[in-house]
Amino acid sequence: MQSLKSQDYPYEIKKYAFINYNSNKITIYDTNAYTIFFNKINRVAFKGKGKVNIVHIGDSHIQADYFSGAFRTKIQSFFLGSVSGRGFIFPYKIANTNNPLNYKVSSKGKWSSCSNIQKDINCPLGLSGISVTTKNPDASITIAIKDPEIKGYDFDKLMVFHNFSNKSFKPVIKNAKIKQTTEYPGKGYTLFEFEDNITSITLGFEKTDSSQTNFTLYGLNFDSSDAGIIYHTIGVNGAKVESYLRCKYFTENLSALNPDLVIISLGTNDSYTNVFDSVRFKKQLISLISLIKKASVNTAILFTTPGDNLMKRTYPNQNVKLASCIIKEISKQYNASYWDFYTVMGGFGSIDYWRYEELAYKDYLHYTRKGYEYQTHLFFNAFLKAYDGFTENIKQE
């Protein structure tokens, strides 16, 4: 195991008495995977070459993209010249749920949706854990990438993840000059390469055969030919670990993103219950690790433990500590890594302090914008300490 010694924070932040700053570190068991990962970051940062793909998977904390979005901004700002593409997104607005603020979505036609939080789903799902389907070949989706925090999210490549069958409409791009279109049914996407860099697309459909009746979208990846770090986010409100195990094309889609680091922020909804099945939770975590390794055997895996919370805004949730302990145990057993946010935020009962300081929302479960930004500060400092530990080891060699 790599030992990360305590260091001064790279970023000075406001200090609170209830935060365990000495525990704010990433505990790494798979040093080989992180060596590869940090080497790739150095290649981008110092040579302007290559790509680094980080995939962050979670629940409502990630769907809104406050925590993950702030981290994306920090990492792409810290390592100069690392802005490459916006990465994987889903047009949540079409599924009648909340959309991140850094891209705009509009649509035409009638759409239905399906989500991995539905226990008895009869629709196949991809990496995003959510899908939208239309039976109208004249339907369309328009997405504009607009992040006020970072400039440079124009793209010249687009991966459209969708269903492949004889009954599926063919996806087309209506508002850009196409250089090349290539289908990759084995990984579940069609790749569009454009003549110029653009900031928005309108996805339409062609009915090339009378047997074609529908089109199902699983997500989109906005990429560019530039070197840099891409931070993909996948989140579904209410998702548990088992939710992503229901996704038929999870492995194929994840493999297509070629992840160097997969961050898993799950466990909140799993432990938000009167009866927490710790044995089942452990088995599901192991299954999720297996799916990730199947997609990319050398990928570094980083778990973040769930935060302290009150059930129904009233009762302290005793299950969170157990869920966090299981995540740490599985990380060690299966050669992954973890960031123990539960301990860092203050442990059992700390959600009251977070609420008092206006870091937590009034449901005592989610965080305010200020809270998510503070969580990001903590996480990024832990990340930089891990990175510094890696670069120090390189200097000693």
b/e per residue 239-274 (b: at least 16 CB within 10 A) = bbbbbbebbebbbbbbbbbebbbbbbbbbbbbbbee
Q: Which amino acid is at 265?
A: S
- Stretches in the chain below the pLDDT threshold 70: 1-11, 148-149, 393-397
Q: Report the distance separating Cα 326 and Cα 244, nearest Å.
A: 18
Q: Report the distance separating Cα 130 and Cα 264, nearest Å.
A: 17
Domains of the chain: 1-84+228-397 (3.40.50.1110), 87-225 (2.60.120.1360)
pLDDT on residue 336: 97
pLDDT on residue 397: 40
* Burial label, 304 (beta-carbon count in 10 A; 0-12, 13-18, 19+): buried
Distance of CA 188 to the CA centre of its chain: 19
pLDDT on residue 396: 41
pLDDT on residue 84: 84
Residue among 70, 378, 372 at smallest CA distance from 231: 70
Contact between 340 and 324 under an 8 Å Cβ cutoff? The reply is yes
Q: Report the distance separating Cα 316 and Cα 180, nearest Å.
A: 55
pLDDT on residue 122: 83
pLDDT on residue 10: 62
3-class secondary-structure state, position 163: coil
pLDDT on residue 193: 97
What's the pTM value of the predicted model, to 2 decimals?
0.94
3-class secondary-structure state, position 140: strand
Contact between 236 and 116 under an 8 Å Cβ cutoff? The reply is yes
